[in-house]
Chain A
Amino acid sequence: MNAHAPLPAAGCGVAIRPERGQRAVFCGLTGIVWLHRKIQDAFFLVVGSRTCAHLIQSAAGVMIFAEPRFATAIIDERDLAGIADMNEELDRVVTRLIERRPDIRLLFLVGSCPSEVIKLDLSRAALRLSQRLAPGVRVLDYSGSGIETTFTEGEDACLASLVPGLTDAGPAAADELLVVGALADVVEDQFSRIFSELGIPARFLPARRAGAMPAVGRGTPYLLAQPFLTQTARALDERGARRLPAPFPLGAEGTTGWLRAAAEAFGVDPARFDAATAPGLGRARIALSPYRAKLAGKRVFFFPDSQLEVPLARFLSREMGAELVEVGTPYLHRTHLAPELELLPDGTQIVEGQSLDDGLDRCRAARPDLTVCGLGLANPLEAEGLATKWSIELLFTPVQGYDQAGDLAELFARPLHRRTRLEV
């Protein structure tokens, strides 16, 4: 819709073009689906409309029946008309919720588009409820609304809301590494083992339980495990923590670069680093090699979704030999992504933002071998004869680290493999 001239990014040969228009993306509420699995004694209460409840149940699929730790307080006409006092209503809902779920230690009030538009002050509500429910339950708030957050930015907003409440690490702040971003437990455990072999004491944000969140302080070095943590990083910086620039731990190369950033910050001897990473690196190379044959030379098109697109594109191009047609991303943090951008091949077209129909036109014209896109586009593009990889799976599947590198490649190779398998 609004075409802009390509803006060359400083210091590397990629072309970054902003785009505005219709966007086919999830809102930040979706982050609840994986965050509530990660923090096991937290509950996520969305304050929103029936649409919000419908979105989460659509995204959560069957998980909703496993007594999930999320729900929606649906605003109704009585609230809007002022017949019911919304803060009293919210207190009533929360009180009953906590009575029913005494195991909950941390309650997130999650803002939505309706609650933001009517300017319901959830931060004051969180403060009020925190005082009432202390010391058993802490109440925090963040916005997962579509008007403010795109998909994974919901996790960013959630983690950022945790940062002010983290304990001050004091003089020992610089002694411990902080790893930021929700990772699958299996991945977190693998990284824990590698860090301990490197002799680096490491803690993870978010922790698996509300009472076990890491401390932070002046000089705490932190590594972002996910590329979408803008606000969280800013909040950590405000606490005096110091970000270690690194590529993201996707693929063998990304994982090594990510670990190396920590090793250098802690002055780990290069020989020790090689010894600690060699087994994982070896396994990753073995696991990746069969997929390289399937993905090399394949032309890949990314629709914007999660901000993982740039690191994934880097992995596919450098480790799998794929060719990048277009890399769409909902938002590009130039500084956090700088180490990734340097690794992308010259001339890579990055599109920040979206104009859906224009993007579809470009995709159809390019006829890529593989299109990475959301579930709203995947089947329609398949019906047009394009192979697709639905992108949400990249958030729900453990893909980071050495031992998941093969799984990550397989996620992209499977749709291509399947197309050769089917005879009808």
Chain B
Amino acid sequence: MQLTVWTYEGPPHIGAMRIATAMEGLHYVLHAPQGDTYADLLFTMIERRAKRPPVTYTTFQARDLGGDTAAIFKDAVAAAYARFQPQAMIVGASCTAELIQDDPGGLAKALNLPIPVIPLELPAYQKKENWGASETFYRLVRTLAGAPVTRAPRDGRRPVCNVLGPTALGFRHRDDLIEVTKLLETLGVAVNVVAPLGASPADLGRLGEADFNIVLYPEIARAAAQYLEKAHGQPFIDIVPIGVGATTRFVEAVAALAGLDPAPILAGAPSRLPWYSRSVDSTYLTDKRVFVFGDATHALGIARVAARELGFKLVGLGTYSREFAREVRAEAALHGIEATISDDYLDVEAAIQAAQPELVLGTQMERHVAKRLGIPCAVISAPVHVQDFPARHSPQMGFEGANVLFDTLVHPLMMGLEEHLLGMFREDSEFHNGAAPSHLGHGPARSAEASAPAQATAPLPEPLTEPAPPATAPAPIRVEAEAIHAMPQPAAHPAPWAPDAEKELRKIPFFVRGKARANTERFARERQLPLITLETLYDAKAHFGR
């Protein structure tokens, strides 16, 4: 048993739903107890879909268990076929139905429907959402892609590719697809089938007609592409075009495979990111400490953009996609750091605290962790909430995606600077905490001493150095986090701070203040200083540099 407050991924049947919902003319019959229909609202609410997902649930109840749940399943399949007339169906069990051991595949087969019915084996107690999506897509492709076809010789016709990977409930999949399709068009490559998003089972039957495949999200489509490579002789490209560099390599790889010249696309200034990043206003971004966490595709892509295209310093990199742990570890090693491979958000929180970043790039969970720690943050990967299925065009991929990324990654820092400026001027007569709002005239002025405790209890300033959560909140559940926690925190009590040193510390921007405090205390401890004075603070600053 694993104690879980938050999970990065749903169970594998949610992955299967993401494939079914992305497609047209496919219906999913899921053997599941009453209540599992909650998953519908991920699609209708978070992604704001205007149709119900094409999923029929058997919704069996306790009173059905004594009887014939297999018959309930068969009836549901027959009724779903009669009502929706799909081109193909997928059938499977959710976690509870897996335990009662009806055989969805066999039961559906016994109905002898005149369409392909594809059974899914999704082990709910071992695997998770992305694996479920990958497996479902692979099974669909394997069943429906048909026999290999002889493709016409390449001379005198446009090269043709399939684009594989975009799903329902995918982070920015809608807009990534627009960008990548645009790149392919400009390059002169025709798109045969995009799948699963918008594809029908019949479309999957045409996959073999393409010359090669493009995998946008390896978590979801690499397995299917590997199958197509083997069965249909189609090579594939799985360079994820996130960032200017990766997009350039992607274009070059596609051009090489298609026998085309990439120069026209790459010439000129296809993205504003390089100039924005070079403009002097961006100098302050240099070596900003950044922590990146997400699914493997986005964590790797964004880490490279952050380090190579924005000049940040990568102080943390991790993923919850265990299937891609090796690739993420290798990338982390290039930066001299150890990757955080975990699906426990408390581990990730501890790793963020230990790395003391100035910017966190992660999922919805890291957004909340960063908020709690008072660190700027941007969301770069699923799981995400409704605001990250925006109405506006906001791809992550391609050259426009790079523009979006520049804004997304820099924006919270700009706000961080603004906040710092407000904090710096807090001791001015107009801005200190005790001052009454200006429109109320001169309120009763409080002394500096009176305002100091108020600053200390302010929610944001310096939680980075606090090993314990604020006293008002109950202690979080930390099951495996002790080891990581213990690392940066001294075992002995640090030397006390002299009031003037403490006051000076508050003048340091809040997002580096934690690091300054930790460094100073370490400096004092190593020298066994009894008190941290103003001099200690600056001695430590000189000692550690930045």
Instruction: Identify the closest chain B residue to A86 (Cβ).
Output: B1
Smallest Cβ distance from A378 to chain B, in angstroms?
Answer: 7
Bound-state Cα–Cα, A51 to B11, Å: 6
User: Chain B contacts of A380 at CB under 8 A?
Assistant: 44, 49-52
A-B complex: 3 closest residue pairs judged by Cβ atoms: A27-B35, A146-B35, A376-B40
Smallest Cβ distance from B268 to chain A, in angstroms?
Answer: 37
Contact B10 A54 (CB under 8 A): yes
Not counting A27-B33, A53-B6, A73-B4, a sample of 6 additional A-B residue pairs whose C-beta atoms are within 8 angstroms of each other reads A53-B4, A77-B126, A79-B125, A100-B477, A378-B44, A379-B44
Task: Give the segment of B93-101, B197-205, B411-419, B443-451 that binds chain A.
Answer: B93-101
Task: Give the segment of B53-61, B293-301, B353-361, B421-429 that binds chain A.
Answer: B53-61
Instruction: Identify the closest chain A residue to B479 (Cβ).
Output: A96
Within 8 A of A (CB), among B507-534: none
Q: With an 8 A cutoff between CB atoms, is A134 at the interface?
A: no
Q: With an 8 A cutoff between CB atoms, is A184 at the interface?
A: no
Smallest Cβ distance from A345 to chain B, in angstroms?
Answer: 31
Instruction: Identify the closest chain B residue to A384 (Cβ).
Output: B50
Q: With an 8 A cutoff between CB atoms, is B22 at the interface?
A: no
Within 8 A of B (CB), among A129-153: 145-148, 150
Task: Give the segment of A17-25, A216-224, A240-248, A319-327 that binds chain B.
Answer: A17-25
Q: With an 8 A cutoff between CB atoms, is B3 at the interface?
A: yes
User: Chain A contacts of B269 at CB under 8 A?
Assistant: none
Q: With an 8 A cutoff between CB atoms, is B275 at the interface?
A: no
Given contact pairs A24-B40, A26-B38, A80-B125, A147 touches B4 in the complex (Cβ within 8 A): no
Task: Give the segment of B113-121, B257-265, B459-467, B468-476 that binds chain A.
Answer: B468-476
Bound-state Cα–Cα, A100 to B41, Å: 33
Contact B60 A24 (CB under 8 A): no
Contact B5 A68 (CB under 8 A): yes
Contact B1 A89 (CB under 8 A): yes
Instruction: Identify the closest chain B residue to A151 (Cβ).
Output: B35
Bound-state Cα–Cα, A376 to B38, Å: 7
Task: Pick 24 A–B contacts, CB within 8 A, sort by A.
Answer: A23-B34, A23-B37, A24-B59, A50-B4, A50-B7, A55-B36, A57-B7, A65-B6, A71-B3, A80-B125, A89-B1, A96-B477, A96-B479, A97-B477, A103-B474, A114-B96, A147-B33, A147-B62, A147-B65, A375-B45, A376-B40, A379-B44, A380-B51, A382-B50
Q: With an 8 A cutoff between CB atoms, is A404 at the interface?
A: no
Query: How many B residues touch the partner, as a band?
Result: 35 or more
Max chain B C-beta neighbours (<10 A), residue from A27, A47, A79, A90:
A27
Bound-state Cα–Cα, A62 to B51, Å: 25
Max chain B C-beta neighbours (<10 A), residue from A30, A114, A376, A377:
A376
Contact A54 B50 (CB under 8 A): no
Q: With an 8 A cutoff between CB atoms, is A64 at the interface?
A: yes
Count of chain A to chain B residue pairs whose CB atoms are closer than 8 Å in the complex: 198
Q: With an 8 A cutoff between CB atoms, is A357 at the interface?
A: yes
User: Chain A contacts of B14 at CB under 8 A?
Assistant: 54
Smallest Cβ distance from B1 to chain A, in angstroms?
Answer: 4
Contact B11 A375 (CB under 8 A): no
Smallest Cβ distance from A290 to chain B, in angstroms?
Answer: 30
Contact A75 B125 (CB under 8 A): yes
Contact B7 A100 (CB under 8 A): no
Bound-state Cα–Cα, A304 to B10, Å: 26
Q: With an 8 A cutoff between CB atoms, is A16 at the interface?
A: no
Bound-state Cα–Cα, A101 to B60, Å: 36
Max chain A C-beta neighbours (<10 A), residue from B37, B38, B76, B475:
B38
User: Chain A contacts of B474 at CB under 8 A?
Assistant: 67, 69, 101, 103
Smallest Cβ distance from B367 to chain A, in angstroms?
Answer: 9
Q: With an 8 A cutoff between CB atoms, is A286 at the interface?
A: no
Contact B49 A379 (CB under 8 A): yes
User: Chain A contacts of B157 at CB under 8 A?
Assistant: none
User: Chain B contacts of A376 at CB under 8 A?
Assistant: 37-38, 40-41, 44, 52
User: Chain B contacts of A117 at CB under 8 A?
Assistant: 65, 96, 99-100
Bound-state Cα–Cα, A26 to B41, Å: 11
Q: With an 8 A cutoff between CB atoms, is A59 at the interface?
A: yes
Contact A24 B37 (CB under 8 A): yes
Given contact pairs A71-B477, A379-B50, A26 touches B35 in the complex (Cβ within 8 A): yes
Given contact pairs A114-B95, A383-B50, A29 touches B35 in the complex (Cβ within 8 A): yes
Neighbour of A57 across the interface among B6, B34, B125, CB < 8 A: B6
Within 8 A of B (CB), among A3-54: 22-30, 47, 49-51, 53-54
User: Chain A contacts of B36 at CB under 8 A?
Assistant: 27, 51, 55, 146
Q: With an 8 A cutoff between CB atoms, is B266 at the interface?
A: no
Q: With an 8 A cutoff between CB atoms, is A374 at the interface?
A: yes
Neighbour of A75 across the interface among B1, B39, B50, B83, CB < 8 A: B1
Q: With an 8 A cutoff between CB atoms, is B231 at the interface?
A: no
Contact B59 A72 (CB under 8 A): no
Contact A97 B3 (CB under 8 A): yes
Within 8 A of A (CB), among B1-35: 1-7, 9-11, 13-14, 33-35
Q: With an 8 A cutoff between CB atoms, is B322 at the interface?
A: no
Contact A22 B59 (CB under 8 A): yes
